[in-house]
Amino acid sequence: MNIEAFADIDTVEYPFLKVFMEQMQTAIPRPMVPDHQMIENTVNPEIGAALRGMKTVKEALKAIVAKVNRVLEEE
């Protein structure tokens, strides 16, 4: 991210970029996590189902825990 380029961004025309630019001032990369892809592939569909109203948040989280626990037991 080139923070110096922020001076050239028109936040009047693109107001949503102002918040993004503020966040980038203190943003840090997420830590390296073993099996990150497995976790993301497990969490994202369940959270998506909860956001779409296909599952309750409690049901989605319960499914996430069950899936992750199965993978961890296999290791």
- Concatenating the DSSP letter of every residue in 47-60 gives HHHHHTTSS-HHHH
Q: CB count, 10 Å around CB of 42? A: 19
Question: What is the reported pTM?
Answer: 0.55
Name the amino acid, one letter, at 75.
Answer: E
Q: Read off the pLDDT of residues 25-60 as tens digits, 9 standing for 90 and up.
A: 888 888 887 878 888 898 999 999 999 999 999 999
Q: What is the mean pLDDT of residues 2-27?
A: 84
The per-residue pLDDT for 14 is 86
At 11 the pLDDT is 85
Q: State the alpha helices, DSSP H only, in the chain.
A: 16-24, 36-51, 57-74
Return the percentage of the chain with pLDDT > 90, whole number: 32
Domain locations along the chain: 1-30, 36-74
Structure tokens at 14: 């693109």
What is the reported pLDDT for 73?
A: 82
Q: Are 26 and 16 within 8 A, CB to CB? A: no
